[in-house]
A and B are shown apart, each in its own frame.
Chain A
Amino acid sequence: MNDMLEAFRLVAAADVVLAILASAIYGLVVGSLPGLSATMATALLVPVTFYLSPIAAVATIITASAMAIFSGDIPGCLLRIPGTPASAAYTDEAYAMTRRGQAEVALGAGLWFSAIGGIVGTLSLVLMAPLLAEMALSFSTYEYFWLAFLGLMCATLVARSSPVKAIASMLLGLLIACIGMENPAGTPRFTFGVTNLLGGIEPIPALVGVFAVSEVMRAMVTPEPPKLPRRKFGSILAGQWALTKKYQWPMWRGNIIGIIIGVLPGAGADMAAWVSYAMSKKFSKEPEKVGTGHPEGLVEAGASNNASLASGWVPALLFGIPGDTITAIAIGVLYMKGLNPGPTLFTERASSMYALYLIFIIANIIMIPLGIVMIRLASLVLRAPRSAVMPAIILLCAVGSYATGANLFSVVMVAAFGVLGFVMERNGYPVAALVLGIIMGSMVEQNFITSLIKSDGDVLPFIERPVSAVLAALTFGALLWPVGAWLLGRVQAGRLRAAAAPR
């Protein structure tokens, strides 16, 4: 109890409160700029944390990352340009809602369920950290291989086009991920002698290219779309409670999946959003609406990616193993501030731990008022003429991608991916699947190859361990689904067409 009081005192300190507020605004801004991810927001905070007290330092990282993951939804929803990779899975859905004049519902859902996901994730951190940590530690490369494979299968569930084209896009993404020498063998591949390609293709320039640049390219060749009916931007939170009740089950599923994926080192918020969105599509009661501006997927995936953020701290705090790139940075800061990760952190520094929990909760609560302000400001973009918004986006694409590595080569990459995304989109290849392939590529290969090395080329160890057996079974289920769906689709093709016609 004394620890709890001490924690309140720690968090109520002026510098901590100021740090939370400042980093909240900072996280909201950075996350909403295309090309700047939540990871980037956190990395840029590191030098600042040098000057802060330990609790304030950790507070900036927790707050900024939570805000950035939420606000990545904003440009995705308004402009079809996801701000962070975690938002890419459901960008099309959110944008479709905007086109139908429901931008405030879509953004409100992103905000409300992000906050809920964040709080549920925090509770899992408070109540079940040792249990979750135990689970994380039962994952060796075999389990990761199946998990990553399962993540890739989400491409076919998410895409609204032909599953074959979705798989082709995803494979193209995996091939792109092969570029460079970041592979288990450390051998340069497909670099064509270009030093800059040795480092491989970062997901951020690819994401910015296929979404943002290709969107501007599309704007160049299409006439300005009819203005949305000019009306007052409705209340952002009204209706969220109704959604919460209506989609209670998907919301909880999103929370749980987010917590589980978040706690597994290396998977992270991006994958949580993908898997949850795919789940919501698969299990939706109104599957025909999914992809046309239906909030169900936003509810589930929005909750999921923020829940994963909190649970990602479990392995980081207990074992110093980063759950994702954000906690990787956070671990460095923890060490620097003398809060060395390990079980003793929970016993000897209990007040600091409670303070950390409190900060998580506070961050997710102030996300709602600050998020509303941010949404209101950002939604002015919908009224601005396209010829004013799009040039600014090009500029942000260039600077944002440059900022990730201080390398002009990534700007070239953004341009190349813009052309690729434009051509793919025109021909019915879903670009989101490409991004998934690029994000997951190195994780799939790393765990596949190292598992093969460990098993001396034997397949049996892949399914021997209990968890890996379950995951393998799930994967084969997901693998066979498109084939079954295709057969089903042939039978029902006539009926489907009839259903689609009136729209």
Chain B
Amino acid sequence: MKSIPRRALLGGAALALAPLARPALIGPALAQPRWPARPVQMLCPWAAGGGTDAVLRIIAILLEKDLGQPFNVVNRTGGSGVVGHAAIANAQPDGYTLGIITAEICMLHWQGLTEVTYRNYTPLGLMNNDPPGIQVNNSAPYRDVKALADAIKASRPGQLKASGTGQGGIWHLALAGWLGAMGLKADHVRWVPSNGAAPAMQDLAAGGLDFTTCSVPEARAMLDAGRARSLAVMAPERLSAFPDIPTLKEAMGVDYQTGAWRGIAGPSNLPAEVKAAMDPALGRVFNSQEYKDFLNARGFGLVYADAAGFARHLEAADKSLGEAMKAAGLAKV
């Protein structure tokens, strides 16, 4: 494997890809701040190609333009996000390893799966929030969410089956929370754990499930294909990308809302200069046309909070998700 022609070939590939790999990377570097002086690693606790990965990658590109240093995305996956989240929290707090944290960070520790909580991070900015929808098979008899709710109330416990993510995942909690808001027990509808939203939507279309509670963007292709219908969204207001789907409050008068959010954070004790540089930079990223176009194209919800706001959000989310998990019997403690 060490022959000259082989090397020439590799070199050729490198040369061929080089122009693709880095056009327009050198953006307007602002007044040479001391940080970042070298490339920054951005850890993603979820696999390449997923929603979190996509959001982080667009953020990384825009940060690169804004701060003038490469922001390299590294996927550190596994253990329902435990491994990657722990890696961000345990990184050297020098500002050169940051990452994206997701709603799961306020759930995993309640399940006793990790010691890491939101307190182990320096929050830098909340970048996106996707509320869950309620989707049924297109041929299902439920015309609106009220009909589905009535069917749920009339069913015996465990008779109806729902899915959307793994056991104890955010969409499982969404179901539990919705059932709780209707005055039902959290396990009145049996949760079928799945490897994410896509297999759940597939099973819904194949007639294997009664409904799913994954986010609307995740269900989008099936909705477009006419294989599934979204009855309601568990959000304070209708989604801009899906204006036809009513909120739970509009459709049945139940006020319950939750969401899967994503934000940028670093390990705790991050130097003040890093925070001072990142906080406004993330704000500029969020307000850029590229970021808005990208999230709108995928139907992702545009929600932003600066470092201080993200910190408040984390504290509140940790409390409310913890309560939901205790109510659903999913928490260890």
Contacts and interface: CB of A to CB of B under 8 A. Distances in A.
> Is A–B contact present in the complex under a CB 8 A cutoff?
yes
A185 B168 CA distance: 8
A323 B171 CA distance: 23
B79 A185 contact: no
Nearest to A388: B2
Contacts of B163: 450
B75 A43 contact: yes
Contacts of B6: 377-378, 380
Interface size class of A (residues with CB under 8 A): 35 or more
A193 to B, nearest CB: 12
A26 B12 CA distance: 9
Contacts of B111: 186
A139 interface: yes
Nearest to A47: B57
A109 to B, nearest CB: 22
B194 A450 contact: yes
Interface stretch (A292-300, A325-333, A424-432, A483-491): A325-333
A186 to B, nearest CB: 4
Interface stretch (A111-119, A279-287, A338-346, A472-480): A338-346
Given A321-B201, A378-B6, A199 B77 contact: yes
Given A336-B298, A405-B78, A137 B205 contact: yes
Interface in B191-211: 192-195, 198-199, 201-203, 205-209
Nearest to A316: B221
A185 to B, nearest CB: 5
A180 B79 contact: yes
B222 interface: yes
B220 interface: yes
Contacts of A332: 49-51, 53-54
A340 B297 contact: yes
Contacts of B80: 181-182, 186
Contacts of B1: 378, 381, 384, 389, 392-393
Given A47-B73, A405-B75, A186 B168 contact: yes
Interface stretch (B13-21, B147-155, B175-183, B255-263): B13-21
A19 interface: yes
A182 B79 contact: yes
Given A377-B9, A406-B76, 19 more contacts: A19-B20, A22-B13, A25-B9, A43-B75, A141-B208, A195-B79, A196-B78, A200-B78, A200-B79, A315-B202, A319-B201, A332-B50, A340-B221, A341-B221, A342-B224, A381-B1, A454-B190, A456-B158, A456-B190
17 contacts: A29-B9, A29-B13, A46-B57, A137-B206, A139-B202, A182-B80, A186-B168, A198-B79, A315-B202, A318-B225, A332-B50, A332-B53, A336-B294, A341-B221, A374-B9, A378-B1, A407-B83
